[in-house]
Amino acid sequence: MSRIGRLPIQIPAGVTVAIDGQNVAVKGPKGELSLVVANPIEVALEENQVLVTRPNDERDSRSLHGLTRTLIANQIIGVTDGYTKGLEVVGTGYRVALKGANLEFALGFSHPVVVEPPAGISFTVEGNNKVTVAGIDKQAVGEVAANIRKIRKPEPYKGKGVRYAGEIVRRKAGKAGK
């Protein structure tokens, strides 16, 4: 039995979970999320808990069991607390500014790079080199942060670029280092 999949998910106060066949809808103070559960997995609601079960021990069922439970738990955390991902802009002359809801990056290109937030995602800027991506969907927050980082990845010689908060960039010595 899956150690993660068999754990019940506690539903906090202020959150409602609606199960309609294979559709799971989670509604909370920050918003609403929905998930379509893969076919062999079954989701049930019992006494302020969500239980995820699998009908057999086939390979597909086993692999989807813990995943489904984690996805539902992430939705419940998202509608109560939300998710954030921090980014840092490192480099001489590299900076970021908030223009309305959009981010405007100066990253050494001949033009500023403008990033528009998708639905459900918001940006906050601290100073001129720290960005926080926030939202209720963990997958969307991570994807937007990864796409921003992809604009100018941290390079290994000087460490310039956009990196995650707390990310350690491995540095190379370069030609002069002996």
Q: pLDDT (tens digit, 9 = 90+) per residue, 61-104?
A: 999 999 999 999 999 999 999 999 999 999 999 999 999 999 99
- pLDDT-derived band at 177, boundaries 50, 70, 90: low
The whole-angstrom separation of Cα 43 and Cα 25 is 12
Helix (H) or strand (E) holding 122: strand 121-126
More confident residue, 111 or 3: 111
- pLDDT-derived band at 29, boundaries 50, 70, 90: very high
The whole-angstrom separation of Cα 17 and Cα 147 is 31
Give one word for 122, left, alpha or beta, with left for phi > 0 and alpha for psi -120 to 50.
Answer: beta
Which pLDDT value is given to residue 3? 86
The whole-angstrom separation of Cα 17 and Cα 172 is 50
pTM over 0.75: yes
Residue 139 φ then ψ, to 5°:
-65, -45
The whole-angstrom separation of Cα 70 and Cα 123 is 26
